[in-house]
Structure 1
Amino acid sequence: MANYIKEIRELVGHKPIILNASGGLVTNERHETLLNLRTDTHNWSLPGGYLEYGETFATACIREVKEDSGLDVEIIQSLGIFDQGFTTYPNGDVTQVISQLYWVKPIGGHLLSAATDETLDLQYFPLDDLPPLLNQQTADMLAAAQTYFAQQNH
């Protein structure tokens, strides 16, 4: 069921709702992480997004990373579920987001070379030197990734 979120929003307007999302942490050889500059909020987030009806967290991650970055990926490792995420979007939509974060590796595709309706830019950043982020949940996810890699001596 494509456009599930849009259909729900048409019914409830801007009222706060709980949504499920999935994101992918893509790292390069320097252990930097790929972030996308969002068109809606003009700040940075992990490639990812909301599940469509019937999707799993894993399939949503793979689809959303492709949409946001142009990369085809496969999942390496789950990095956790993050359920303390409140976001108010510029259009007035309010959400509590429950997000599954995966560490993923590129297996094909290529980084987008031009802006899309969701992504203005893509850049790799060191986990200890990040740009302005979408929300606290994004910061929490990146902090968890930094802790995970430190424990793995990545």
Structure 2
Amino acid sequence: MANYIKELRALVGHKPLILNTAAGILVNDQQQVLLNLRTDTHNWSLPGGYLEYGETYATACIREYKEDSGIDVKIVAPIGIFDQGETTYPNGDVVQTITELFLVEAVGGHQLAQATDETIRLDYFDFDHLPPLLNQQTADTLVAAKAFLNR
């Protein structure tokens, strides 16, 4: 069921919802993480997004990573589930997201060279020098990813 979130929002408006998301951590040779500058909030997050109805976290991560970055990925390992915090988007939508975070590896595609309807640009950042992030949950996922990579 494509556009599940849009259909749901048409029914409930901006009412707070609990929604499921998936995101991936892709690191380069310098152990920097790839982030995308979002068109909706104009801050940075991990490539990822909402599950469509019937989708698994893993398939959503792979699909959303491609949409947000242009890069085809495969799942290497699950890192954790994050369920704290609330985000209010500029359009008034309010959500608490339950996010499964995965370590991913690039297997094809190409990093987007121009803006899309979801991503202004992509860049790699040091885990200790991050740009303004979407929300506290994004910050928490990056802390967990850094610990996971350094174990």
When normalised by structure 1's length, the TM-score is 0.97
Aligned counterpart, 1:81: 81
SS at match of 2:150: helix
Aligned counterpart, 1:41: 41
Question: Cα RMSD over matched residues?
Answer: 0.5
Q: In structure 2, what is the Cα distance between the partners aligned to 1:19 and 1:27?
A: 26
Deviation of the 1:148 alpha carbon? 1.1
Q: Does 1:146 align with 2:146?
A: yes
* Conserved 8 A contact 1:22-1:61: yes
Aligned counterpart, 1:72: 72
Aligned counterpart, 1:95: 95
Q: Structure 2 unaligned runs (5+)?
A: none
Q: Structure 1 unaligned runs (5+)?
A: none
SS at match of 2:128: coil
SS at match of 1:15: coil
Runs (4+) of structure 1 exceeding 3 A deviation are none
Deviation of the 1:18 alpha carbon? 0.4
* Conserved 8 A contact 1:47-1:65: yes
Per-residue deviation, residues 106-147 of structure 1 (Å, max 9, x unmatched): 000000000000000000001111000000000000000111
Aligned counterpart, 1:2: 2
Aligned counterpart, 2:15: 15
Deviation of the 1:85 alpha carbon? 2.8
Per-residue deviation, residues 9-57 of structure 1 (Å, max 9, x unmatched): 0000000000000001111011100000000000000000000000000
Q: In structure 1, what is the Cα distance between the partners aligned to 2:125 and 2:85?
A: 22
SS at match of 1:67: helix
Q: In structure 1, what is the Cα distance between the partners aligned to 2:123 and 2:78?
A: 22
* Conserved 8 A contact 1:85-1:98: no
Aligned counterpart, 1:53: 53
| Aligned positions, number | 151
The one-letter amino acid paired with 2:53 is Y
Q: In structure 2, what is the Cα distance between the partners aligned to 1:74 and 1:150?
A: 20
The one-letter amino acid paired with 1:118 is E
The one-letter amino acid paired with 1:116 is T
